[in-house]
Structure 1
Amino acid sequence: MSPLIRTRPRIVLSALLAVLLPAGTTACTAEQSSAPRAPRTQISVGTPFTPYDIRPLLKPRKKYIGVAIDGVSRSIAPVAAFNRGIGKKVNMVTIYAAVSDHFDSRGARRIWRAGAIPLIMWEPFSPSLATIARGAIDDHLRQFAAAVRALNIPVAISFGHEMNGFWYPWGTRKNSPADFVRAWRHIHRVFSETGTTNVIWVWNPNVINPVPRVALRPYYPGDSYVDWIGLIGYYTLTGAHTFTTLFGPTMRQVRRFSDKPFIITETASQPGPRRVRDVADLLKGVASSRDVIGFIWFNYRKRADWRLPARSPELLTFRRYVAADIFGFDPTRS
C-alpha cells in the first residue's frame, strides 16, 4: 500500500500517512517475526512424486476473487464469514509473512482445502536485499522451498511488494533496483534448485499514481522469473480515482516490457461518500479488463476501516457484481 493509505500488519507508517488519513486513526506498529525456524524438511530433490501443475491456473477463464483478512493464520472462519457476506467463495487468500518466517504449511493447506490458493506476501524486513542476494540465508530459503514443494499445492509468492515505494526497508530509500532484482533472481534460483515448481511468482509494485513516479522496468527481474504482475492500489478519500486512473498508468508502463497477466493483489475503498461508487467501479473494471485476472480485497481495519460491513450498501454492491459468472471458480478442480 502507498504511504497515503498504508494499513497492513508488519508495517511502519510514514508521517505523511498520519497527515493525509482521517483524524483519529492510529498508526500500526512494526512487527518483526518471532516465529521459530522450521526444522529441516525431510524431502530429497530426487524423491519420486508428481509435482502440481500450476499452468492451468496462470491464465484462468474466469476471474480470481481474493481476500486479505485478519485471523486467517489461526482459522479459516474469517474467510468463511467473508464468503457468506459476498455470496460467493473466494479462491485466493493472502498470508503476510516475513522472509525469516518458516513456511506455514498448515495455514496454506487450510486455505487450499477451503477452495483457495494461498498468496504469501513475503516481506524482507531482515536481512537486507543485498544479504539475501549473496546467499547468506540460503539454508533457510532451501528449507522454505522444500516445505512448499512437499505440500505440493499451488502457492503464490510475492517477494518484496511495493519495492518502488519508499516506505519499506526494501524500498527505494535503502536499495537500488539492481539490489531488488539480484535478490529476486537468487531466491528464484534457490527454489528451482530445490525442485520447487508449484510456485506462482507475483512481481508486485505499488501503482505509480499517486506515489512518486519511479520507473518500474529497472525493478523487473524478467519474464523468466515472473508469472503474474501484481498491482497494489487503493481508492482513498484523498483522491477521486477511477479504475482507469488508479491502475491504468501502471499497466501501460508495465506493458512496455512484459505481457504477463495482471492481478490486483491489494485494493479496497476507504469509507466515505464515494465508497459504493468505488466498489462498483473496481469490480466493473476487473470484469471488463482482459489483462486483469482478478483482485484481492484488503478486508482489514488498519488506520482506516477497509472492511465491508454486514448489510451495508457497499457490501450489497460488492455482492451484486461478484455474482456475475465471470467472477469465481474452484482452483482445486482446475
Structure 2
Amino acid sequence: MLTVLLVAGCASPVAGGPDASRTSVPPGAAAHGAPTSFDAPLVPETGVYLGMYYGDGTQDETDDAVGRVPQLHLTYVGWEDPWTTDAVLAEDVERGQLSLVNWEPFGVDLQDVVDGRYDDLLARRADEAAGLTQPAFLDLAAEMNEEEGWGGHDPGLYVAAYRHVHDAFDGKDGGNVVWVWAPNNVDSAGAPPALDYYPGDDYVDWTGIDGYNWGTSDPDFEWQGFEEVFRDMYDDLRTLGKPIIVGETASAEEGGSKAAWVEGIVPTLRDEFPDIRALVWFDVDKERDWRVRSSEDSLAAVRELAADELFQTS
C-alpha cells in the first residue's frame, strides 16, 4: 500500500449519484431470491460505483484512457495526516467524484488508541469532517486479517480501537463519514478469520473486500477468475447485511488472459455478487503489473467495463 495525499468528496452529488441516506435494491438481486435492501449511506439506487486508485499517470490521463471519470477516487493517508482539510479536496469537488479514504495506522499501537492517547487528534479530525461538503467513505485499518495485521492479529484489540475511533467521530462529523470495514479476501495462515474482527453493525456502514488475481509468476500462486478471488469472503460478508465495496482489485498478466478476467467482472457482479455496490481498480505497477494499461487488451477490456450500464449509477 501507499501513503499519499487525500483526494476527498465533492461539493454536490455525482451526476445521477447518491443520496446520503438512500435505501436501495442491488442489481441482479432477483436471481438470489428476495432482493436485498440496504439502509445505508451513499448506496447508489441502481448500479455499481466504479472507482480508481490513480497510480499510473495523471488522473486526466487515466480517465481519458478508461473513457470516463470514475465515481470513486481511492487514496491512502497516514494516521496523523490532516485528511479532512487537505487542499486537494478541491480537486475532487471539481471532478465530481466521491472519495474513498483508506486511513492506515502505521506505527501506531492500537492499545494507545483504545487508551485515549490520540483522543485530541481524533477530536480534531471529527470537528474538521463536519466541514466536508459531501460525505466521504472512510476505510479504517483495512486488511486487518491478512498482511497489515493491525493490532497483531488480535481481534479484540482491533475491534476496540475501531470502535474508539468511530465513537470519537460520532455526532461530531455532521454525518460526513461513511464507515467502511474491509478485510482481505483471504485470512493469514494461523490468524483469526475476518469476521472475528467485525466491529459490529452500529459501527459499520459498508463492508468491503480487497482482493487480486496474482497470476502465476510466483509458484505459490495460481490464476484465479474474478469470482474465485472474491467468492468465499463475499459469502461471509453477505451474512452481515451491509452493502459491499471491493476496495482494491486488479489482475496480473502472467498465467492467463487479463482481458478475459476483466470481461468476467460485469456478469459476475450481476449474477453472483448483487451486494457488491462499488468496485475500485488499483492502477499501479507494484507487486504485479496491476495497471489498466499493462497491455492493449487489458485497456480495451477496462474501457468496455467502464462503459457498461452496470457502472452507470443513479
Q: Is the TM-score greater than 0.5?
A: yes
CA 1:175–1:136 in 2, change beyond 3 Å: closer, same or farther? farther
**109-118 vs 121-130, which deviates more?**
109-118
Match of 2:222 among 228, 232, 239: 239
Establish whether residue 94 from structure 1 lines up as the match of residue 78 from structure 2. no
Superposed, 1:196-235 pairs within 5 Å as 196-208=174-186, 214-235=192-213
AA at the equivalent of 2:79: V
AA at the equivalent of 2:2: P
Superposed, 1:170-189 pairs within 5 Å as 170=150, 174-189=152-167
**1:235–1:268 Cα contact (<8 Å) kept:** yes
Tell me the percent identity: 27
Name the counterpart of 1:9: 2
Match of 2:127 among 107, 124, 146: 146
Structure 1 position 314, deviation (Å): 0.9
Q: State the alpha-carbon separation in 2 of the partners of residues 302 and 163 from structure 1.
A: 20
Name the counterpart of 2:64: 84
Q: State the alpha-carbon separation in 2 of the partners of residues 194 and 328 from structure 1.
A: 33
Match of 2:260 among 277, 281, 304: 277
Superposed, 1:163-174 pairs within 5 Å as 163-165=144-146, 167-168=147-148, 170=150, 174=152
CA 1:211–1:64 in 2, change beyond 3 Å: closer, same or farther? farther
SS at match of 2:305: helix
**1:108–1:118 Cα contact (<8 Å) kept:** no
Match of 2:289 among 282, 296, 305: 305
Structure 1 position 254, deviation (Å): 2.2
Name the counterpart of 1:263: 245
**1:233–1:247 Cα contact (<8 Å) kept:** yes
State the superposition RMSD in angstroms. 2.4
Q: Deviations over 1:18-46 (max 9, x none)?
A: xxxxxxxxxxxxxxx9x9xxxxxxxxxxx
SS at match of 2:120: helix
**1:216–1:254 Cα contact (<8 Å) kept:** no
Q: State the alpha-carbon separation in 1 of the partners of residues 135 and 270 from structure 2.
A: 24
- Unpaired runs of at least 5, structure 1: 1-7, 11-32, 36-51, 72-76
**1:60–1:293 Cα contact (<8 Å) kept:** no
Structure 1 position 106, deviation (Å): 2.3
Name the counterpart of 1:42: none
Q: State the alpha-carbon separation in 2 of the partners of residues 163 and 239 from structure 1.
A: 23
CA 1:235–1:213 in 2, change beyond 3 Å: closer, same or farther? farther
Structure 1 position 129, deviation (Å): 1.2
Number of residues of Structure 1 aligned to a counterpart in Structure 2? 275
- Unpaired runs of at least 5, structure 2: 6-17, 23-41, 216-220
Q: State the alpha-carbon separation in 1 of the partners of residues 155 and 269 from structure 2.
A: 29
**1:89–1:328 Cα contact (<8 Å) kept:** no
